[in-house]
Amino acid sequence: MEHWDLRTLDVQPHQPKILHSARGEARSILINLPAGESLQEHQVHERAYVVVIDGEIDLAGHASGPGAAAVFDPNERHAVTATSDARLLIVLAPWPGTGHPGARD
């Protein structure tokens, strides 16, 4: 078993921390997103689960704070903007998704 305290784990802005990655299963990433910064509109090949650990974000037009969670379908376009310093857990599954460079389609 692996486990983390997502509120205190050291993760620097602009340096996402991959917590776990298993081919064919999922990838978990912790992100420190400073106030005013964003993950500009994008899409990923995997289903994307977003969990707000700390801070406030605008998630696809919805104000979201600690404890909020959302899921995006594969290839669904979305954007995330931090309205205050925010810490996010992103889970991509399955990893890597169909169409992802390096995936075995």
pLDDT in tens, 4-34: 999 999 999 999 999 999 999 999 999 999 9
> Is residue 84 one of the residues assigned to a domain?
yes
The candidate with the shortest Cα–Cα distance to 34, out of 7, 64, 11, is: 11
Domain range holding 60?
17-93
> Is residue 65 one of the residues assigned to a domain?
yes
The candidate with the shortest Cα–Cα distance to 33, out of 85, 89, 80, 78, is: 85
pLDDT for res 17? 97
Pairing verdict, β 78-82 and 57-59:
antiparallel
> Is residue 105 one of the residues assigned to a domain?
no
> Is residue 101 one of the residues assigned to a domain?
no
> Is residue 59 one of the residues assigned to a domain?
yes
Structural domains in the chain (count): 1
CATH number at 26 reads: 2.60.120.10
> Is residue 89 one of the residues assigned to a domain?
yes
Question: Is pLDDT above 60 for 105?
Answer: no
pLDDT digits 0-9 by tens, 44-85: 999 999 999 999 999 888 999 999 999 999 999 989 999 999
Give the Cα separation of 31 and 68 in Å (integer): 15
Name the residue with higher pLDDT: 40 or 47.
47
